[in-house]
């Protein structure tokens, strides 16, 4: 018996049964406890979990004017797994006013996992979006014919004013890069694509919610599950309060109609942006809804480049507006004193000629008032050559770097950091190494770079930097990084001090006031506002000169600083100064009384090279 080969058979059979039972138990444990997919499929037969999209935060200007609102739209979703149970395709297409061919194309696009990586036959897929209430009314009435169909409410942006498109930005469908980067988004979601909508996307978008809906065996909606006990409320996005004055912004854009250029206005004491206009521009409403793609491509292909934000990204030589900085730096570094005078022979001056005849010799205040080129060339030269040239030109190059560092303290030659503005150009204050590379360390002198003395040559600035320059002069030596969100105003990291003697700034302010009372800006001065300004006519190798102006008002305790650039317009005193003057008048008096100047600026169209193609 001990050698019976069948003696172990009962144990083998029992062991096999035990193993099978254990496998079944383990599998049941996995399915019911660990893996929830089967339970989810069962639940999906009775329950529908719909995403509840939050309303985006609203956007207000500095005076509480509502700029950006939300307007309701609807999207139709389909659950493919449930469409097999008697879906009436013909009636569905009739309700949406589409044909069967378009229906099939949309279904194929949804099923394409390369384009729709989140595709699942068990989850709602967006069939058609951005529909009005009237578009979905008949679908609601006959919903029983379309098992698997759902109608979700969404919102689109709306605008109470047709201005500030570059600032506000737009909202559009998320890209694949967005889906890969942030798990918050699903295919068909919307996000801020540019401007403040993009900068503040995470605070404006809010948080999604979930609504759990109970269905019967035919998929028909029976109401909320457990009276909404398992629903998750959507959290509305946080509102945004801007420093922008929408009425001042409107004035800037109106004055730039028919022109190419930009206007930037700041509150000097806070760095808050009051207006930031770039022209050409567009009504933000055109980048909303179904028309977004078509309109965006139209803007993209426009030869005048309206999508290019000239206020932040265009660079120009500052021209004579740079003489205000030259004055402060040359005084600070001992190149001149407030009493220094230089001769001027008008257009016969050399090596830099003056644009007109005026008295000679010229003092600093008269030089600012009359925009005397020879004066600022001499001041620049004497500042750089104060200590001679030294061995191998080293002393001169050290003085140049001192000058460059002082100029950059006004916010030039660099992008503003810790701000909510979009992409900016840095501009340019040339490095020593650029001249070393071109001329050799010993080969360049003050005469070599004389164009810098009057804001020409290699120096480049953006309109935003010009406005910030005006604010620094207005503040007598400091600036607050320009920004749009009023919450940033209290940030101490945004304050920048030049460290230069405030006396020099007061002298320059007096000179800028004389520009408006006796100089090139006198035609647009309002005595009661104590305007300070500096005009500039910038040489342009590609066509007519650019018109530039910077200014602030009042002279003491200034409330607004402005920069205006009008491309290919000629004299700064003719086209840039009047626009800036109107901006000051509007902001400080809340009205425009000089209708003749306003009408001329608004109704004049200036030809631009891009329009001659």
In whole angstroms, give the CA distance from residue 311 to residue 166.
Answer: 9
**Looking at the predicted structure, is the pLDDT value of residue 267 above 90?**
yes
Domain boundaries, the chain: 49-241, 246-612
Contact 276, 249 (CB under 8 A): yes
pLDDT bracket for residue 215 (50, 70, 90): low
DSSP-assigned letters across all residues of 290-329: GGHHHHHHHHHH-TT-TTS-HHHH--B--GGGGHHHHHHH
pLDDT bracket for residue 499 (50, 70, 90): very high
pLDDT bracket for residue 24 (50, 70, 90): confident
Query: For 536-555, how does the pLDDT look when each residue is reduced to its tens digit (9 = 90+)?
Result: 999 887 778 999 999 999 99
Q: Quick one: pLDDT at residue 1?
A: 45
Residue 128 or residue 41, greater confidence: 128
- Which tokens in the block code for residue 487? 């919450």
**Looking at the predicted structure, is the pLDDT value of residue 289 above 70?**
yes
Query: For 51-103, how does the pLDDT look when each residue is reduced to its tens digit (9 = 90+)?
Result: 888 999 999 999 999 999 999 889 899 988 888 878 999 999 999 999 999 99
Residue 323's Cβ-side half-sphere holds a number of Cα atoms within 13 Å equal to: 34
Rounded to an integer, the average pLDDT of 310-325 is 96
**Looking at the predicted structure, is the pLDDT value of residue 567 above 80?**
yes
Q: Quick one: pLDDT at residue 559?
A: 98
Query: For 345-391, how does the pLDDT look when each residue is reduced to its tens digit (9 = 90+)?
Result: 989 899 999 988 888 999 999 999 999 999 999 999 999 999 999 98
Q: Give helix 502-517 / helix 463-474 axis angle, nearest 10°.
A: 110
pTM, whole model, 2 decimals?
0.86
Residue 87's Cβ-side half-sphere holds a number of Cα atoms within 13 Å equal to: 17
In whole angstroms, give the CA distance from residue 322 to residue 430.
Answer: 14
Fold of 49-241: Penicillin-binding protein 2a (Domain 2) (3.90.1310)
**Looking at the predicted structure, is the pLDDT value of residue 288 above 70?**
yes
pLDDT bracket for residue 455 (50, 70, 90): very high
Rounded to an integer, the average pLDDT of 321-338 is 97
Contact 132, 255 (CB under 8 A): no
In whole angstroms, give the CA distance from residue 513 to residue 478.
Answer: 19
Q: Residue with structure tokens 């998750």?
A: 232
Q: Quick one: pLDDT at residue 42?
A: 47
Q: Which helix (H) or strand (E) holds 213?
A: strand 209-215
Rounded to an integer, the average pLDDT of 484-503 is 95
| Domain 246-612 top-level CATH class | alpha beta
Mean pLDDT across the chain, nearest whole number? 90
Give the residue among 413, 410, 487 at the shortest CA–CA distance from 199: 487
Q: Quick one: pLDDT at residue 558?
A: 97
Kindly give, in sequence order, each residue whose CB lies less than 8 Å from that of residue 155, ignoring residues fewer than 6 positions away: 53, 55, 56, 70, 71, 72, 73
Query: For 578-587, how does the pLDDT look when each residue is reduced to its tens digit (9 = 90+)?
Result: 999 999 999 9
Rounded to an integer, the average pLDDT of 201-228 is 76
Q: Which of 175-179, 265-269, 473-477 has the lowest mean pLDDT?
A: 175-179
Kindly give, in sequence order, each residue whose CB lies less than 8 Å from that of residue 122, ignoring residues fewer than 6 positions away: 41, 44, 79, 81
Q: Which helix (H) or strand (E) holds 186?
A: none
Q: Which stretches of 224-279 are DSSP H helices?
A: 246-255
Q: Quick one: pLDDT at residue 9?
A: 67
In whole angstroms, give the CA distance from residue 182 to residue 188.
Answer: 14
In whole angstroms, give the CA distance from residue 235 to residue 566.
Answer: 44
In the chain, what is the straight-line distance between the N-terminal and C-terminal CA atoms, in Å?
A: 110
Give the residue among 231, 197, 48 at the shortest CA–CA distance from 124: 48
Q: Which helix (H) or strand (E) holds 464?
A: helix 463-474
Q: Quick one: pLDDT at residue 155?
A: 87
pLDDT bracket for residue 613 (50, 70, 90): very low
DSSP-assigned letters across all residues of 54-102: PPPPPEE-TTS-EEEEEEEEEEEEE-GGGTTTT--HHHHHHHHT--HHH
Residue 242 or residue 149, greater confidence: 242
In whole angstroms, give the CA distance from residue 530 to residue 509.
Answer: 11
Q: Which helix (H) or strand (E) holds 371?
A: none
Contact 571, 537 (CB under 8 A): yes
In whole angstroms, give the CA distance from residue 584 to residue 562.
Answer: 8
pLDDT bracket for residue 30 (50, 70, 90): low
Give the residue among 606, 609, 605 at the shortest CA–CA distance from 541: 609
């Amino acid at each position: 018996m001990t050698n019976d080969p069948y003696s172990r058979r009962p144990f083998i059979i029992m062991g096999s049964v035990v193993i099978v039972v254990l496998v079944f138990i383990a599998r049941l444990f996995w399915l019911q406890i660990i893996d929830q997919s089967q339970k989810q499929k069962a639940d999906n037969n009775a329950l529908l979990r719909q995403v509840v999209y939050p309303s985006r935060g609203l956007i207000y200007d500095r005076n509480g004017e509502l700029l950006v609102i939300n307007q309701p739209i609807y999207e139709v979703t389909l659950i493919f797994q449930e469409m097999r149970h008697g879906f009436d395709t013909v009636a569905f297409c009739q309700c949406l006013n589409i044909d069967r061919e378009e229906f099939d194309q949309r279904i194929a696009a949804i099923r394409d996992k390369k384009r729709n990586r989140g595709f699942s036959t068990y989850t709602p897929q967006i069939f058609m979006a951005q529909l009005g209430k009237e578009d979905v009314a008949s679908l609601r009435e006959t919903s029983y014919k379309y098992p698997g169909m759902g109608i979700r409410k969404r919102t689109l942006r709306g605008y109470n004013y047709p201005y500030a498109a570059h600032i506000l930005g737009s909202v559009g469908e998320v890209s694949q890069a967005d889906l890969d980067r942030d798990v918050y988004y699903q295919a068909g979601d919307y996000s801020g694509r540019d401007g403040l909508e993009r900068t503040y996307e995470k605070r404006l978008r809010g948080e999604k919610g979930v609504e759990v809906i109970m269905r019967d065996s035919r998929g028909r909606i029976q109401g909320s599950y457990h009276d909404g006990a398992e629903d998750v409320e959507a959290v509305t996005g946080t509102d945004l309060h801007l420093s922008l004055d929408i009425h001042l912004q409107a004035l800037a854009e109106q004055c730039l109609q028919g022109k190419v250029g930009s206007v930037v206005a700041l509150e000097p004491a806070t760095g808050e942006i009051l207006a930031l206009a770039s022209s050409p521009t567009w009504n933000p409403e055109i980048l909303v809804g179904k028309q977004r793609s078509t309109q965006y491509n139209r803007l993209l292909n426009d030869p005048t480049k309206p999508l290019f934000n000239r206020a932040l990204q265009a660079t120009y030589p500052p021209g004579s507006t740079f003489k205000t900085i030259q004055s402060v730096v040359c005084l600070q570094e001992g190149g001149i004193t407030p009493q220094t005078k230089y001769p001027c022979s008008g257009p016969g001056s050399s090596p830099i000629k003056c644009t007109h005849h005026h008295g000679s010799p010229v003092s600093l205040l008269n030089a600012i008032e009359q925009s005397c080129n020879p004066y600022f060339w001499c001041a620049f030269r004497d500042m750089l050559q104060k200590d001679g040239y030294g061995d191998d030109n080293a002393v001169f190059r050290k003085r140049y770097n001192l000058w460059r560092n002082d100029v950059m303290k006004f916010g030039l030659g660099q992008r503003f950091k810790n701000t909510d503005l979009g992409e900016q150009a840095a501009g340019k204050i040339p490095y020593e190494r650029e001249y070393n590379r071109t001329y050799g360390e010993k080969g360049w002198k003050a005469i070599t770079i004389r164009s810098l003395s009057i804001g020409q040559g290699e120096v480049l600035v953006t309109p935003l930097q010009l406005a910030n320059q005006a604010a620094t002069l207005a503040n007598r030596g400091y600036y607050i990084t320009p920004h749009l969100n009023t919450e940033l105003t209290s940030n101490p990291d945004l304050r920048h001090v030049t460290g230069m003697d405030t006396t020099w700034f007061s002298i320059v302010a007096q000179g800028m006031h004389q520009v408006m009372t006796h100089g090139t800006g006198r035609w647009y001065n309002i005595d009661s506002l104590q305007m300070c300004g500096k005009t500039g006519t910038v040489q342009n190798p590609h066509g007519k000169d650019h018109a530039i102006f910077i200014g602030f008002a009042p002279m003491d305790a200034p409330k607004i600083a402005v920069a205006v650039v009008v491309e290919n317009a000629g004299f700064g005193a003719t086209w840039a100064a009047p626009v800036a003057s109107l901006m000051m008048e509007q902001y400080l008096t809340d009205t425009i009384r000089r209708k003749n100047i306003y009408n001329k600026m608004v109704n004049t169209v200036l030809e631009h090279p891009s329009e001659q193609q």
